[in-house]
Homo-oligomer: A and B are copies of this chain.
Amino acid sequence: MIPTTPLKTAYPWTRTPFIASAPMRLIALAPLAYAVSLAGGLGFLAAGTDLNDLKRQLQIVTDLVAQTHLPGSSSDLPIGIGFINWAVDLEIALETLREYIPAAVWLFAPRKNEDLVEWTKKIREVSKGKTKIWIQIGTVTDAIEIARSCHPDVLVVQGADAGGHGLAQGAGIVSLLPEVADGMRGMEMESIPLVAAGGITEGRGVAAALALGAGGVVMGTRFLASKEADIAKGYQYDVLRTRDGGKSTIRTGVYDILRGTKGWPDRYNGRGIINQSYLDAQKHGRITDENKKLYEEALQKGDQGWGENGRVTAYAGCGVGLVKEVKYAKEIMDEVRQDAADVLSKLSRATSNL
């Protein structure tokens, strides 16, 4: 009856509606991941593309677990780890996952979908099934192919409104989630929970995701404005000041080029706040040397490199316009859950008149 049951079973300390925090590269580290789990969600630590710091982060979580009491969590780490698959060596990841067993891994952006089969199999082996496999998809085609080949424990269904990297072309969750749900039902795999991502920053979005068939949601952009995020003040202020998320952000490859990020498979790009670097690239139809130079200079300015006339990248999703205040992760979680419950309760009163 309650759509979150499978997630609640896997993560007994979590509350309803189920909320996870996204493994945002360089930003979602041990403090944020653990704070989200401690607040009744599932926090993801970003391993991202570089595993050098991962063990240290996991040791911080291990120490936090020892200091605090997370009701209902088993002895293993009550957080997840997000990997950007194309950039990471499976054997190196496995070595860490043998030592620190997380409650989930989140796999995203393999060079080809088949690569995920071995990742799934090996991680299940080393964790003896304790680490649940989350796989992020952005199309119905990928959802069906991956469900068939990997039998993931959770599918993260990411819509086009998401911030940071995702498919360059795709639908928002309003269309994507129901079609994925129907696809899963057609394969008799509807028991795999769908977790919605992309554009959700508050209670209304959570309630909408549940209506669309999600068993839970992921928020990324909302946690950029959390006290536990490892984020530059300039970047965080960009998130707070930006309004009209669909108008103020853009999916583009420009920021990857300026940042020197290489290796993303062709079909991905990233959504970030529109800045002078992007506008210059648009104006000239390419990234000029002048643009690169100004970007490098902006980087040297620290927090001043962001802002109204800034040039430094601030990845964020379309929901950024709804994020207005930096709060503790626990405050965010409590508020979003309460708002979602209020919306659903209000709708249920309206429903009784249908």
Contacts and interface: CB of A to CB of B under 8 A. Distances in A.
A302 interface: no
Contact of A204 (B213, B319, B321): B213
B174 A199 contact: yes
A244 B139 contact: yes
A318 interface: yes
A204 B199 CA distance: 17
Contact of A319 (B175, B200, B247): B175
B169 A211 contact: no
What band does the interface of chain A fall in when counting residues whose beta carbon is under 8 Å from B? 35 or more
Q: Describe A's contact surface by its main secondary structure.
A: helix
Nearest to A267: B247
A48 interface: no
A174 B171 contact: no
Nearest to A247: B139
A341 B319 contact: no
A1 interface: yes
Contacts of A179: 243-245, 319, 321-322
A243 B140 contact: yes
Nearest to A244: B140
Question: Which of A141, A250, A347 has the most CB atoms of chain B within a 10 A radius of its CB?
Answer: A347
Contacts of A159: 172, 174, 246
A178 interface: yes
A305 B44 CA distance: 49
A228 interface: no
5 contacts: A160-B172, A175-B201, A179-B243, A210-B347, A337-B354
A177 B172 CA distance: 13
Nearest to A200: B174
A36 to B, nearest CB: 18
A123 interface: no
A139 B174 CA distance: 17
A33 interface: no
A159 B167 CA distance: 18
A140 B248 CA distance: 10
Interface in A173-197: 173-179, 181-182
A318 B2 contact: no
A199 B172 contact: yes
A244 B179 CA distance: 7
A172 B317 CA distance: 11
A349 B161 CA distance: 29
Contacts of A322: 175, 178-179, 182
Interface centre among A178, A345, A353 (most CB of B within 10 A): A178
B245 A171 contact: yes
